[in-house]
Structure 1
């Protein structure tokens, strides 16, 4: 008859050795995670513009928050740049995915749109030509985007939308709303797309806010409710600076549960420019 052996209790030395091994492994994993976060932040920082342009009576500001999973990096982007004719180009977009490939594709789209916008004045043409250029890259990814062109002399803001979420606006006289601009398919899906252009004149003091769905959609909030929340927030703070408003809108992303990365681009406009110091 086999005797049942009593399990041997681990010695203090063995327990200490196991603990040291687990501690060393935990430190290594923490170090690797920190390195990944720093790499993601550095990459994202290089992909997004370091500074945004402004004119008398026109101020811009933007904010970005990383995703809460993956490499803490995604394909959301914003851009604001001067065009050869003196106009201001504004762009925002969202590439599918949360990885380095999405971030790299985002960088390609941002550069492509800048290049196309420097030779095409019509936002619909900018979007259509950017779409064709992206398709020529033969990537499996696609992106939503909005592109606007602001003439600082006439204050006409013309824009086109490629499957992207609506924008939000508010004026100092108490009006506000969510844009209902017509649009086309996201970029990188189908050739020969045409993108309708919507034109509006910024003839009163106010703000115009572009954002990505990470700001307004999540486990705790639908896109519609999120947009309405941002509309109320923007309407209540039309007197804030562009920087302050960008911070407030990005903080609103917390209400969604914020699992996606998020980008905000704010345009503050004044009919009679004031000294902001």
Structure 2
């Protein structure tokens, strides 16, 4: 993120917090300002922000180097109350509650993300209740139905902008790692909602190793998303603090036991040395990864003893699985939604083992989605699905078209 953009976002959050602006309104304002200011900062032009509080309203004005057309303004998650050629002003209700702003931008973004998810779910609940009322109403049904459809369309347009921001916040793109190709595909149970408990995290440790966390939190909606975020953040923090890889799942479970006593999640961790291909896996009640080798074979990488996930009895990963990826080998990490679409977990794993080598030669950016499409040819049980693919690069391979 551009430093000036991060500074602008921080300032907006601070003035909103000082004025007691509700978290949802703050989140929509920060998103709207980000969408407007980011292109300007990328081209080296200036964006300024002014704010004032009068009569119970916080006025925030963003001044941009170029005019913002009405079609563009209409797509913002928070519509301005006033505008001229280059200035847009919002008026937000203030309050007495003061909400501290997290110091880290990603923490603040997560806080705002969860507020927007909660609001989106509330809107969806309102929509369901309205449809129920329509079913019981004998008079004015047609007029109300038309009104509902118009409202649905408005919600879909508003949600489209918010959901793009949510996707960026919840599901990070692959990090750049020399010697490895990375790609991911995510498909939610409900195509109109990004919420769910299947989340992942990947980052490069100070020593150069790639760390991957894949979590499947029990439950649905906002609660499962919050639980999954909590797990991925806790594991990232412990990993960066240098805690032993073998202990990360158990340590995370102990840390979260008193904070989130109802949290249950399966977890799988992968640690890869890109220079040697050395792979270490820690499994807590999660489906075993699939290895598709360069010679056209595929097999499950099961741990000698599969540990238990967070919130399960005796959580942890007592035995690790070690393997060395050869150049051209592909590792597939996934959540159970990939293999349970026909309500038969073992049958799904067998089909995945057949499909993986047949499609392993695809460009890495196409592989996860293609596998998900093939595995979901028949869907008797819909569930969130994440597929992560990691391929050790063949010598001299051209990665210029790698998709993220």
TM-score range with shorter-chain normalisation?
0.7 to 0.9
* Aligned CA distance change for structure 1 residues 42 and 67 (closer, same or farther; 3 Å): farther
* Aligned CA distance change for structure 1 residues 17 and 105 (closer, same or farther; 3 Å): closer
* Aligned CA distance change for structure 1 residues 36 and 100 (closer, same or farther; 3 Å): farther
* Aligned CA distance change for structure 1 residues 70 and 234 (closer, same or farther; 3 Å): same
The answer to whether 1:226 aligns with 2:348 is: yes
Q: Which of 15, 18, 25 is the equivalent residue of 2:148?
A: 25
Which residue number in structure 2 is paired with residue 164 of structure 1?
286
C-alpha separation between the residues in 2 aligned to 1:129 and 1:18? 56
Q: Which of 40, 52, 58 is the equivalent residue of 2:174?
A: 52
1:169-180 equivalence runs, <5 A: 169-180=291-302
Post-superposition CA distance 1:57-104 (Å, at most 9, x none): 311111111113895521001222101111000121200111111111
C-alpha separation between the residues in 2 aligned to 1:77 and 1:23? 37
C-alpha separation between the residues in 2 aligned to 1:118 and 1:190? 26
Contact 2:333 2:389 in 1 (8 A): yes
C-alpha separation between the residues in 1 aligned to 2:197 and 2:224? 5
C-alpha separation between the residues in 2 aligned to 1:115 and 1:19? 55
Q: What's the CA shift for 1:120? A: 3.3
* Aligned CA distance change for structure 1 residues 138 and 108 (closer, same or farther; 3 Å): closer
Contact 2:294 2:326 in 1 (8 A): no
Provide the aligned length of Structure 1 versus Structure 2.
261
Q: Which of 261, 273, 276 is the equivalent residue of 1:154?
A: 276
Unaligned 5+ runs, structure 2: 1-137
Query: For structure 1, which segment, 223-232 or 163-172, has the greater mean C-alpha deviation from structure 2 after superposition?
Result: 223-232
> SS in structure 2 opposite 1:54?
coil
Post-superposition CA distance 1:167-206 (Å, at most 9, x none): 1111121221122223211112346644311110113421
* Aligned CA distance change for structure 1 residues 265 and 65 (closer, same or farther; 3 Å): same
Which residue number in structure 2 is paired with residue 95 of structure 1?
217
Contact 1:169 1:209 in 2 (8 A): yes
Contact 2:309 2:315 in 1 (8 A): no
> Alignment RMSD, CA only?
2.6
TM-score by length of structure 2 reads 0.59
1:45-84 equivalence runs, <5 A: 45-49=168-172, 51-68=173-190, 71=193, 73-84=195-206
Q: Which of 368, 376, 387 is the equivalent residue of 1:264?
A: 387
* Aligned CA distance change for structure 1 residues 137 and 247 (closer, same or farther; 3 Å): same
1:236-255 equivalence runs, <5 A: 236-255=358-377
TM-score by length of structure 1 reads 0.83
C-alpha separation between the residues in 2 aligned to 1:196 and 1:106? 23
1:198-217 equivalence runs, <5 A: 198-217=321-340
* Aligned CA distance change for structure 1 residues 158 and 17 (closer, same or farther; 3 Å): closer
Unaligned 5+ runs, structure 1: 1-14
C-alpha separation between the residues in 2 aligned to 1:117 and 1:135? 18
Contact 1:95 1:144 in 2 (8 A): yes
The answer to whether 1:127 aligns with 2:263 is: no
Q: What's the CA shift for 1:157? A: 0.3
Post-superposition CA distance 1:130-176 (Å, at most 9, x none): 22222132331210010011012222100100000111111121221
